[in-house]
Structure 1
Amino acid sequence: MRVLFLSFLLLTGACFDPQPGAQLPDAPGQKQQIARSPSIVQLGRVSDHADILSFSQEQALTEQLEAFEAQTEHQMVVATVDSLNGEEIADFARDLANAWGVGRADHDDGVVILVAPNERRVRIAVGYGLEEELSDTFCQGVLDSIILPSFRENDFANGIAGGVKAITERLS
C-alpha cells in the first residue's frame, strides 16, 4: 500500500477567486451543491465524501475549524471526494470553493483542503486575500512535510489534521 501513496502528486497551493460567500452550514441537513460536480454537497466544514475519516475525527476537525473561524474570521473547509470526475484537482478545488462560497467575498480569505484518495491527489486552495500568508511555497511545504508523509502511511486523518493545524497556526 505504501507504494501507492509514494506517487501522491500534483500538490501545489492554488488561488481561487471566491464568489460572494454564504455562511457554512452548521448542520448536516444544510447542503449546497457545486455546479460541475452535482454529487458533491457541502455537509459542513468537513465534507468527507470519500469516507476516510471517522465520525470523531470529523467532529474534532469541525470544532477546530469553527474555533479558527471565530478567532480569525477566515473560513477553511476540508473536503474529500471519491473522484475528481476527470477534472484537474486545481480546477475542482477552485470550483468547489466558489460554489460553496468559502471565505468572505470582500476579503477572498477562504481555504480548501481537497483530498481525492482514489486518484492520489491533494490540494490546498487559498483565496487571494491570504496568498501572502499562505504562499505556494508554504502550502507546498505543508503538503511535503506534514500531509503526504501521513498519507503515505495510509493515515489520512493525521495528515489532514496536521495540515489544518499548520495552516491555522500560520494564520492565528
Structure 2
Amino acid sequence: MKNHDRIQNQLSAYLDNELSPEQRTIVETHLSECHECTDMLADFQRNRQWIGALTHEAPPIAGTVLPQLADRGPVRRKLLPSFGELWDWVCRPAISGVGALAMVSLVLALVYFNLMMPSSEDTYTSDPLDFYLAVHAEDTTYNPLHSYTVADSLGTDTNIPDTTVEDNTAFLLEVHLGD
C-alpha cells in the first residue's frame, strides 16, 4: 500500500517524462498490475488534452494597438516637475519626518515624566485629607522661617522672632478619623 501511494504521487512526473529510467520502470511495472493507477494516468492524459484544446491565439496588435499609439502623438518630457510632483518628492517626506519627530518627542516626554513622578505611596493620592496632612507635616518639620537670622548693614546679627506655627495636627486627625 505504501508503494501504491508513492506510485500515485509519481504519475504526473511519469506523464511529463521527469523520472529516471529506474523509477520509470518501477512505475510501468506497477501500472501493468494496478487498474486504479492506470485509470488515474488515463485521467491525467485526458485532462492534458482538454487543456491543450483551450489554447487560443493572441489578437494581432498591429491593427489595434499601433494606431492608438500613433494618435497620441510624441511623448514630451518635462524639464521641471509640477507642483504636485514637487509636493510628493520634497514636502511630504519632510512633513512626515516632522510628525515622526514629534511623536518620538511625545513618547520620550511621557516616559520621562512617568519616571519622575513619585509613586502613589508617596503622594497619598487615595485620600485628599491624607495628602493635606502629609504636606502639613512636611511644612511644619522643614519650615525655613523657624530660626531665621539676618545680618544688618553694620555686620551685627539681628534675630527675627521665631514664627510659631499652630499645631493643629491633633484636630485634623480627629476630624479625619472621626473620633
TM bucket by the smaller chain? under 0.3
> Which protein has greater RCO, CA pairs closer than 8 Å, 6+ apart?
1
Structure in which a larger fraction of residues adopt helix: 2
Structure in which a larger fraction of residues adopt strand: 1
TM (normalized to structure 2)? 0.16
TM (normalized to structure 1)? 0.17
